[in-house]
Amino acid sequence: MGETVRMGNTFVEPQPTPLALLLLGQQSDPDSERGVDCPGELPAASDPDLVRRAAAAKAALGDRVFILGHHYQRDEVIQFADVTGDSFKLAQQAAAHPEAEYIVFAGVHFMAESADILTSPDQQVILPDLAAGCSMADMAEIGQVEDCWSALEAAGVAGSTVPITYMNSTAAIKAFTGRHGGAVCTSSNAERSLRWAFEQGEKVLFLPDQHLGRNTAVRDLGLRPADCVLYNPNRPNGGLTVEQIRAAKVILWKGHCSVHGRFTPECVDEVRERVPGVIVMVHPECQYEVVAKADAVGSTERIISTITAAAPGTAWAVGTELNLVKRLAVANPDKEVVYLDRTVCYCSTMNRIDLPHLVWVLESLVAGTVVNRIEVDADTAHWARVALDRMLALPGATPAKD
C-alpha cells in the first residue's frame, strides 16, 4: 500500500506498485491493448523542446485542428486541449466544430469512434496512440452481444427489450443498439436514457457496465436490486435461466471498469475516519456498494463542477481517476480534496496519450500526413449515429458550449 494521497496545499505522491506501473502505462498488458505500434518516429519523451514543438505545430494548423481532451488526460496533454469534458460534452463538441478539418481526440478509442460518427465525412478524427483503448469497452464484443440477443429471442422477450449501451463501447455495439431501437448513454444522462427506454419497452439490456446500469436502475429509477440480473457473456445463456431472463427488468452485461473497481466500501469508511466531515463523491462506474456509501455521484464533468462550486473550507474525497483528482486539488486550494484510494489509480489507456504522441500527430499534420485516423465504416456509422442521436435528443441534452 502507498501513502495517503492528500491534496490541497501539499500533494503526496503514492508509492508505485507493479500494478500501478501498469496503470501508468509504463508496462504493457497484451490482453488489454490494441497492440498497434506507431508507424512513425516518436520524439523522445526526454526532449526538452516538446512543449514548444506542440505549441508551434498547433499554431501552424490554426483553425484546421480542434483538440478534444477528456478529463483523465495527463497535464502535459490537457494543456493543449481546445475543450475539456466528459464523454457527453466531448461528443457534443465533436459535432459542434464542422470548420475543423482535423479533430485530435486526446481520449480513448471509443470516444474517437463516436467523434468520427458525429462529424462530417470530410473531417478526419485522429487518436494520438492507437493503443489507447478501454478495457471496459473490450468486455463486450459484437458477436457476444448478438448471442445475448438470441438468448432473449429464445426467451421470447427480445421484442419488449430496449438495448442501452454506455458510450464506453465499440461502434459495432452502438450500431447494434441503433438497429434494435435503443440508444447510447453516458454517465451524465444514464437516468434519462433508462427512463426513455422504459417508455419504449418493458425491459432494458444494459451494456457493458454492470455498475452504471445497476446504480442507475436502483438508485435513480427505484428498482430493486433483484429486478436486475447479470448476463455473463462467457457462460451459456449468460449463466441465466429462461425464467430469470423473463422475470428481470434490467439485464446487466457483466462488464466493469478496472480503474473504478479499485474503490471499495472500506475506502469510504477509511476516508471518513481520516478526514472528519469529508464529503465523498464518486463516479457511477464504481460498485453499487461504494456508491451507496458515498454522499454524491456524478460524471467527471459533474464531479468537477460540484467541487468547484462548493463552499471554501469543505473537504472532498473523490473516487475517480487520479489525473482529474490531482488537477481538481490544485484548482481548489481553498478546499481539501483527497483521493479515495490509498494507492495510485490512473487509467493506463488514457495515459498512453502523452506529449510525444501529441507532438507526433500534430507535426505530421503540419507536414501534410494524417496518422492514426479513426474511421468507422459507413453502415456501422449510420446505425451507431441513430443510437447516438437518440441520446443527444433526450430532454435536458443541452447544445454544446465552449
What are the residues binding ligand SF4 (CB under 6 A)? 108, 134-136, 168, 257, 259, 285, 321, 347, 349-350
Residue from the set 73, 84, 87, 169 that interacts with ligand 13P by CB under 6 A: 87
131 contact, one of ligand SF4, ligand 13P, none, CB 5-8 Å limit per kind: none
Do 400 and 89 meet the contact criterion of CB atoms below 8 Å apart?
yes
92 contact, one of ligand 13P, ligand SF4, none, CB 5-8 Å limit per kind: none
If we measure between CA atoms, which residue out of 263, 257, 258 comes closest to residue 317? 263
Contacts with ligand 13P by CB under 6 A: the residue count is: 12
Q: Which residues pair with 141 in a beta bridge?
A: none
If we measure between CA atoms, which residue out of 51, 87, 90 comes closest to residue 68? 90
**Which range, of 85-93, 148-156, 191-199, 243-251, touches ligand 13P by CB under 6 A?**
85-93
Reported as type and span, the H/E element at residue 373 is strand 373-374
If we measure between CA atoms, which residue out of 337, 252, 340, 228 comes closest to residue 293? 340
Nearer to ligand SF4, 107 or 356 (CB): 107
Could you give the string, one character per residue 273-312, with x where binding to ligand 13P holds by CB under 6 A and - elsewhere? ----------x-x-------------xx------------
If we measure between CA atoms, which residue out of 182, 207, 209 comes closest to residue 197? 182
Cα dihedral sign, 348-350-356-361: positive
Cell of residue 389, nine digits: 442521436
- Count, residues in the chain: 402
Q: Go through 271-289 and write b for each residue having 16 or more CB atoms within 10 A of its CB, e for each that does not.
A: bbeebeebbbbbbbbbbbe
Nearer to ligand SF4, 161 or 351 (CB): 351
Residue from the set 84, 119, 168, 332 that interacts with ligand 13P by CB under 6 A: 168
Please state, as a whole number, how many other Cβ atoms lie within 10 Å of the Cβ of residue 398. Answer: 8
Nearer to ligand 13P, 251 or 286 (CB): 286
Q: Which amino acid is at 52?
A: R
**Which range, of 75-83, 86-94, 119-127, 221-229, touches ligand 13P by CB under 6 A?**
86-94
Contact positions with ligand 13P (CB under 6 A) in 355-384: none
Please state, as a whole number, how many other Cβ atoms lie within 10 Å of the Cβ of residue 401. Answer: 9
How far apart are the C-alpha atoms of 116 and 373, rounded to whole Å?
9
Nearer to ligand 13P, 102 or 110 (CB): 110
If we measure between CA atoms, which residue out of 256, 254, 249 comes closest to residue 221? 249
Nearer to ligand 13P, 65 or 345 (CB): 345
349 contact, one of ligand SF4, ligand 13P, none, CB 5-8 Å limit per kind: ligand SF4
**Which range, of 15-23, 24-32, 83-91, 114-122, touches ligand 13P by CB under 6 A?**
83-91
Contact positions with ligand 13P (CB under 6 A) in 11-70: none
Omega before 208 within 30 of 0, i.e. cis: yes
> Counting contacts by CB under 6 A, is residue 84 touching ligand 13P?
no
Which residue's C-alpha cell is 506529449? 355
215 contact, one of ligand 13P, ligand SF4, none, CB 5-8 Å limit per kind: none
The CB-of-346 to ligand SF4 minimum distance in angstroms stands at 9
Binding site for ligand 13P (CB under 6 A): 71, 86-88, 168, 186-187, 257, 283, 285, 299-300
